[in-house]
Each structure stands twice: as structure tokens, then as C-alpha cells.
Homo-oligomer: A and B are copies of this chain.
Amino acid sequence: MLISYLKSDIEVMEQRFRTNLINSIAGFKSTNLIGTINHERKTNLAIFNSVFHVGAHPPLLGIVCRPHEVERHTLENILSEKHYTINHIHPNILTASHQTSARYPRDISEFDACALTEQYSNTVKAPYVKESRVKMGLELREKIDVRINGTVIIIGEILEIMLEQNIIHKDGFAELEAVETITVCGLDAYYKTSLLSRLPYAKAK
């Protein structure tokens, strides 16, 4: 049976209940590790459940940052150094990836604390996660301040993509299921996927 929550019900919910509910009803989300580096070459790695597609030409991705949360090192590093990496998560690195959400002090890199390996390319100065099977290097293009709640949206252009060649279909589709890319619901529930169907381009009858 369907039940309804109205705005007035949501406002008086216990805070943790509301956070879990609202974070989960948005639907399944991508979950990624974002790698950054600061001007002293200290690296940072943080799990984000908020990467979203903005455009393909130029290739643009967005991320949502709360300025006052653990993610602030990531945001500061992106704003100062311009480069960052987005790395997919698979089951073998899930526990380590989730652990990056702990509040480590700035002088400890989550790469070390969570036993993930830094990897560098010639294109971006931020570190990739070596264990990740699909990863992208990006450069900051636009910072958007969301007025209503102080959230910051970061939009970056993809400068580099690294992935398993055999997951790319002839039409460009990347079969993420084949490399076990994980999806997340809410703050902490991680899922694997199985294909229902690829549907053809829809035309009005």
C-alpha cells in the first residue's frame, strides 16, 4: 500500500531518518572515488555518490559537493589545482572505497589509510586509483554555487579515459556490468547490476 509523506512530515522527521530517506528515494546513483592532489603534493581520495552526466560534446561531468563535510579536501584541491580523477568502484575495492568517507586529517592520504594505489598519467596531475577498471581524468570548467542550500556543483571536462578495451561496444556503449562497476542507493547500500535490456531509439508511432 502506498503511503504519503508531505513537506510538513519531512520537516519534523528525525534527522538521520530524513537523511537516509531522501538520499535513497532519488534512485540508484553512480559511486566513484575522486582523486585529488594539493599544492604540496599531498593526495586525497574520497567516495562521492553524486557524479552526473552534463554533456558529451564537450565531454562534461558534474559532482555535487557539500562545503562543510569530509569532502571539503576534495573541493579545495579541485579549486586550487583544477585537475581530478573519477574512478569506478568494483566489489574487490568496495570496503576500501567506503572507508575513504571517514574523517582523516589532512596530512593522511586516504590512499595510504585505505590501501589503495596511486597511479599517474601524463595528462592530469591528480592521482588515479590503480585498482579501478574505469577511470577518467578531468579539468575544472565551471563552479556553480547552489543558493538554496550552499552546495557547490563542480563541472569538469574529461581529458582522459582509461578502461578495459573489451567492454566498449561497436556503438561506443561501455558495458560497465562486465567490469562489475557498482551502483549505490542512499548513503551506504551498494549493489551490483544485471541487464534487463537495451531498448532501441524510440520513435513516435
Q: A5-B161, A102-B202 are in contact. Are A197 and B144 (CB under 8 A)?
A: no
A147 to chain B, nearest CB (A): 6
Q: A25-B134, A55-B149, A56-B23 are in contact. Are A189 and B173 (CB under 8 A)?
A: yes
B3 touches A162 (CB 8 A): yes
Q: Pick the contact of A19: B25, B155, B165, B172 (CB < 8 A).
A: B172
Interface locus among A10-18, A35-43, A75-83: A10-18
CA distance A12 to B169 in the complex (A): 17
Q: A6-B159, A193-B183 are in contact. Are A18 and B56 (CB under 8 A)?
A: yes
A205 touches B113 (CB 8 A): yes
Q: Bits for A28-39, please: 1 = Cβ < 8 Å to B, else 0.
A: 111110000000
A193 touches B196 (CB 8 A): no
CA distance A61 to B202 in the complex (A): 27
CA distance A49 to B51 in the complex (A): 12
- Tallying the copies of this chain within the complex gives 2
B146 touches A54 (CB 8 A): yes
Is the contact region of chain A dominated by helix, strand, or loop, or is it mixed?
mixed
A146 touches B151 (CB 8 A): no
B residues in contact with A102, CB < 8 Å: 202-205
Q: Which residue of B lies closest to A5 (CB)?
A: B161
A157 to chain B, nearest CB (A): 8
A174 touches B30 (CB 8 A): no
A202 to chain B, nearest CB (A): 4
Q: Pick the contact of A151: B55, B169, B204 (CB < 8 A).
A: B55
A91 touches B196 (CB 8 A): yes
Can you name 9 extra interface pairs (CB under 8 A) apart from A4-B161, A26-B30? A2-B163, A20-B173, A21-B172, A49-B53, A102-B204, A105-B204, A177-B185, A185-B193, A188-B198
10 shortest interchain CB distances as A-B pairs: A27-B30, A20-B172, A17-B172, A28-B183, A191-B193, A22-B56, A21-B172, A102-B202, A24-B174, A102-B204
